[in-house]
Amino acid sequence: MRVATIVSLAASAVLGLGALFVAKVMLPSAAQAKLPVIQRPVEGTPVVVAAHAIKYGEKLDAGALTIVKAPADAIPQGAFTEISQVLSADHGGAPVALVPLAPHEAVLGAKLSGPGARPSVAAEVAEGMRAYTIKVSDVTGVGGHALPGDRVDVVLMRDLTPQGPERSFISYVVLQNVRVLGIDLNADLASEKPATPNTATLEVSVADSQKLSMASTLGTLSLALRRTGEAVAADAHPLRTADFLSGGARAPTRAIYRGPRTVAISTILIVEGQPSKQNRSPKKAPPAPAPIPGLTLTPAANPAAGGAHAGAAGANAIG
């Protein structure tokens, strides 16, 4: 009987401790879970970002923008702190996006239009550079596959004999690794649809714009599309028609056969001393020169009498 009482008291003590644990630990956690969560204000500097994806040329409004807070050292230079600043950035009016903006991307002044509330190529030109437009076609413009932001080489082809019976051409690489700012009126960097081009606007230096100005009057300009990320300039020499027909290498300088010509060839005999009649022996005539293809040889004059005169005549005939 005493053992049963002891066991009963021990069990009651264990149950009491369990109830005390539940009351102290579990019940307050459940009560706190039902209470509204109080969020602490995020510390940082306000910055205006895109509320959703914004396309190139899209006019901005209050619904396209939102404000978030970020550490001051993480905010890019030129960011806006108020939406009203963005909506009045274009001479008091709402600007348009010059580049596509991703959701939560910071809105910068360089990404918005200036005067006119329209996309402007001038805003895309780097400092110290110029935008220069050349005329292209569906062939010379690489089939329209050159899009804004791509890089190209500019090639010039000249006709050296526009009025001659035999045509001779020469090709130069005028510029290399030039950034395309726009094709026709398309300056959207996010554009993925090629189009048949009529003009190409390139970003060049002042000196390179002068080169393009002169080159456009000398012949036909065409574009060669470069691989993305390739910036190494190739060693490209001017290529003439004769070089191309000989295999593409720079052929050595050589004479061009223009047809048969008449050349007088003379021989001058020099005799040292005056040999006696007994020792005088007839001299053997020098061997005749080998015939030259395409040349007609005429007999030379008497070498003893008029050799020098004949030689001069032969020189005049060659020249």
Amino acid (one-letter) located at 5: T
Tokens linked to 214: 């002169």
Q: How far apart are CA 143 and CA 94, in angstroms?
A: 36
In DSSP terms, which residues pair with 263 in a beta bridge?
297
Strand ranges inside the chain, DSSP E: 45-50, 65-70, 130-135, 151-159, 169-183, 199-204, 220-225, 239-240, 261-264, 295-298
Q: How far apart are CA 180 and CA 299, in angstroms?
A: 68
Q: How far apart are CA 174 and CA 135, in angstroms?
A: 15
Q: How far apart are CA 293 and CA 257, in angstroms?
A: 10
Tokens linked to 174: 């005028």
Q: What is the pLDDT of residue 216?
A: 92
Where helices occur in the chain by DSSP H, the ranges are: 2-21, 27-34, 83-87, 206-218, 241-245, 303-318
Domain layout of the chain by residue ranges: 45-119, 122-245, 257-271+295-313
Q: Indicate if the alpha-carbon torsion angle 102, 103, 109, 115 is positive or negative.
A: positive
Q: What is the pLDDT of residue 316?
A: 39
Instruction: Write the CA distances from 168 to 89, 149, 242, 315, integer angstroms.
Output: 56, 35, 8, 30
Q: How far apart are CA 51 and CA 66, in angstroms?
A: 5
Where helices occur in 222-302 by DSSP H, the ranges are: 241-245
Q: What is the pLDDT of residue 145?
A: 85
Q: What is the pLDDT of residue 283?
A: 52
Q: What is the pLDDT of residue 151?
A: 93
Q: What is the pLDDT of residue 282?
A: 54
Find the largest Cα–Cα distance for the chain: 175
Which H helix or E strand runs over 176? strand 169-183
CATH topology for 45-119? Type Iii Antifreeze Protein Isoform Hplc 12 (3.90.1210)
- Closest to 214 (Cα-Cα) out of 182, 167, 175, 164: 175
What is the full per-residue pLDDT of the chain (319 aa) written as tens digits?
577 777 777 777 777 777 777 667 666 565 555 556 556 655 788 999 999 998 887 888 888 999 998 888 888 888 898 998 888 877 777 788 878 889 999 998 878 876 544 456 776 788 899 999 999 988 888 888 888 889 999 999 999 888 877 888 999 999 999 999 888 876 666 666 666 788 899 999 999 999 999 999 999 999 999 998 888 888 888 888 888 777 654 544 444 444 444 444 444 444 455 554 544 555 555 555 555 454 444 444 444 444 444 444 343 333 3
Radius of gyration of the chain (CA): 45
Instruction: Answer whether 45's CB lies under 8 Å from 72's CB.
Output: yes
Q: How far apart are CA 80 and CA 16, in angstroms?
A: 63
Q: What is the pLDDT of residue 15?
A: 78
Q: What is the pLDDT of residue 195?
A: 65
Strands 261-264 and 295-298: parallel
